[in-house]
With several copies, the nearest count.
Chain A
């Protein structure tokens, strides 16, 4: 490979800061059902990519970073930072490691981040603000906004932290990159396996009724296998994507139509 590992540290503090700001502002800006935060991630790492790759490599790596990604934006910078450190050292070689890591870490980070910043903080400061507000006192509102500013400060520390961890990872295991790649991919795929029943939401609405006999179809299906419908849907789309002429646009249109049809046939709902 033509890795140019000459400039020891191509990514400098300014790059980290730039990525940080982009992540802060744009991680969810183009959120969509198909790949959720993929574009936000791509946008944040784009300057880094432009530094590290040229030509077709750049195209390829942009594609790599436009894959399904979803995590809590508050803590996601940590993943971004790790990624940057790994790519800086290993360039394209690290393509699979980072996909594995991104996929493997996004799920648990979402859980932790959502609980802390999506439940605990808003509940605590939201209730304080509300009870004060009900008495006509805006202090609680101010306080909450202040806390949110502090949290922004906190978020800025996570990406550099991830960068350091990632650097540690690659220096420690650089000579065993293949093994590391496999391990990361393994982790990622394990998490994807768990994503299917977690992220895909498909409940069979159909209930068979005849006299006093009712049969909830979803219960029957659960008896065969939990999350059977999501599995079948993933398999279906996975199969479709194997055909030459199938694009993700077509796939998404197909699934949309499927959703509408199934709803109106009262199959899903």
Chain B
């Protein structure tokens, strides 16, 4: 293996940046075809990078990380695959053979990064309590570390120790932890939701919680549809409230005024 040190540094930085880019600017470094091209340039073989990136890109077209789901990270795969193919003078097919298992392995590390950041979240909570605004800011920004390192470290290790390490890790990772973390990742949002429910005046509007639930769970209405229902119910509630208020104040005149305001239909 004859990767130059500067190449290793650049590729590790690239891996770090690619995930951060996808979370922020999104100039495209999260996409295999783009990252493959850049890696190709670093390795001195743009055409190879293009070919590898393009093949991987076509494999993930339209697969996005919605709702925080973890997907195969063929972007990191493209970096490692292109690097190995270039130094061993192999073709794109060889690179894909490396990139795919790497991409699958990265799913686990993505889950880990998403976990780890709850640590900073809770430090943010604490700093809020203490009124330490700089602490709040610092801890939020530190969230970038788990993200970046979740890509940079494995790329670094793989570039140093080679392809065999990939297989080793894939095989030796204990299932009880990996599978367990995946399940935990699936159900963890209940904490955020429960906090939100405690936070909102849920009791007062529990009927609408049920309605939203029935719409999504029984009728499979997608989110925008549920929100439309919510908007309709909110409007009805709003109109009733402003109708009721003047009555309490004992004035019929305001009441009528309120009515007229609603209808654009006057003759």
| Chain A in direct contact with chain B (Cβ < 8 angstroms) | yes
A contact residues, total (Cβ < 8 Å):
125
A1-50 residues at the B interface, CB under 8 angstroms? 24-36, 38-40, 42-43, 46, 50
Interchain CB contact under 8 A, A26 and B231: no
A196 CB within 8 Å of chain B: yes
A201 CB within 8 Å of chain B: yes
- Interface segment out of the listed A77-85, A131-139, A158-166: A131-139
* Complex contacts, B161 vs chain A, CB 8 Å: none
Interchain CB contact under 8 A, B193 and A68: yes
Contact of A32 among B118, B183, B223, B235 (CB under 8 A): B118
Contact of B200 among A28, A103, A131, A233 (CB under 8 A): A103
A206 CB within 8 Å of chain B: no
How does the 8 Å CB contact mask read for A184-196 relative to B, with 1 for contact and 0 for none? 1111111111111
Interchain CB contact under 8 A, A126 and B33: yes
* Complex contacts, A39 vs chain B, CB 8 Å: 120-121, 124, 139-140, 143
Given contacts A38-B121, A234-B193, A238-B197, contact A126 B241 (CB under 8 A): no
Interchain CB contact under 8 A, B25 and A36: no
* Complex contacts, B2 vs chain A, CB 8 Å: none
Given contacts A31-B23, A31-B117, contact A193 B213 (CB under 8 A): yes
* Complex contacts, A29 vs chain B, CB 8 Å: 20, 23-24, 140-141, 143-144, 147
A178 CB within 8 Å of chain B: yes
* Bound complex: CA A256 to CA B267 (Å): 31
Interchain CB contact under 8 A, B224 and A184: no
Closest B residue to A50 using CB positions: B133
* Bound complex: CA A242 to CA B238 (Å): 26
* Complex contacts, B64 vs chain A, CB 8 Å: 114, 118-119, 122
B125 CB within 8 Å of chain A: yes
A171 CB within 8 Å of chain B: no
Interface centre among A186, A213, A262 (most CB of B within 10 A): A186
* Complex contacts, B212 vs chain A, CB 8 Å: 189-195
* Complex contacts, B170 vs chain A, CB 8 Å: none
- A-B pairs with the 5 shortest C-beta distances? A193-B212, A30-B143, A259-B184, A260-B180, A201-B186
5 additional A-B pairs beyond A30-B121, A34-B192, A179-B238, beta carbons within 8 Å, are A67-B195, A68-B192, A190-B215, A192-B193, A193-B211
Q: Which residues of A contact B (CB under 8 A)?
A: 24-36, 38-40, 42-43, 46, 50, 55, 58-60, 62-63, 66-68, 70, 73-74, 95-96, 99-100, 103-105, 107-108, 110-112, 114, 118-119, 122-123, 126-127, 129-131, 133-134, 136-138, 140-141, 144-145, 148-149, 151-152, 176, 178-180, 182-202, 211-213, 215, 224-227, 230-231, 233-234, 236-238, 240-242, 248-249, 251-252, 255-256, 258-264, 268-269
